[in-house]
Amino acid sequence: MKQILPVVFLSFCSLIGHSQTNTIWGIYAGAGASTVYNYDVGISGGFDFAKQVGNRTAIGASLKYQSYAFLYDKEANFVNNGGGNAGVSILNKSSYFFVTPKVSQYFGKHGCLEVYVDGGAGFKMSGTETMRKWDYNNATGTVPYDSILNTSKNINSMVLRFGFGLTEYVHLSNHWWFTITEDCGFLGNTLSKTSNVDDPSRTSYSPNGRLNPNYFSLQIGIFHTRYWEEHKMWTVKW
């Protein structure tokens, strides 16, 4: 991972150096929440670069940081927060660095609304996970137990992410713009292999599918565009 980051960074610097016209680049940061199993705010941020390829169309890439925090909790009799007499809970806190190619289309009179889609691979930067499983119900015919396991080794080192979103540009001065982005991110594979079908730790309360929560984030940023005229993001020249 430490070897990948310098190579990617130098590649982007080289790309920008050879693209002195019709380009937009900037940085952004924000936070979001998961649609399921949400446990804590997911911090996000990154560097974005795009170059015009057609009428109000641009291609580029983003270097993204995204953190995840989810708590899977399934217990007997639909009780939550460890109050049931049997169940499984999985707490995952992890973060990934994504390299995502991106396609954007700009709309509006001045082209200040961007609609984009992106997708790429993410590499684990950090991750901790614990699983608790318990059963105090003697009627099941099993010996009562309550175990807490460190399952961090089951966190995937690489995941695939696909996303889309909207970005609004607000002119600041000369070539600089303030941005507000609503981003939706979806994982193509599971964050953790804990409780997979071949996992011996499985119980009847374990997940039946992937642990890949979708995240909706609000981000703000500052961007620079090579071309500027009368507060317009796009003209014939851009």
Give the tens place of pLDDT for each residue, 107-165: 987 788 999 999 999 999 999 999 999 998 866 566 888 999 999 999 999 999 999 99
Taking the C-alpha atoms of residue 60 and residue 150, their distance in angstroms, rounded to an integer, is 39
| ∠ CA 204-210-216, rounded to 5° | 125
Kindly provide the residue ranges of all beta strands, DSSP E only, lying in 82-207, ordered along the sequence.
86-107, 113-135, 145-150, 158-173, 176-187
Query: Contact, 62 vs 118, CB < 8 A?
Result: yes
Give the tens place of pLDDT for each residue, 49-95: 999 888 889 999 999 999 999 999 999 988 888 888 899 999 999 99
Query: Contact, 160 vs 120, CB < 8 A?
Result: yes
- pTM score, two decimals? 0.83
What pLDDT does residue 18 have?
A: 39
Say whether pLDDT at 34 is over 80: yes
Residues in the chain: 238
Task: Give the side-chain half-sphere CA count within 13 A for 127.
Answer: 23
Query: Contact, 31 vs 42, CB < 8 A?
Result: yes
Q: How many CB atoms lie within 10 A of CB 153?
A: 10
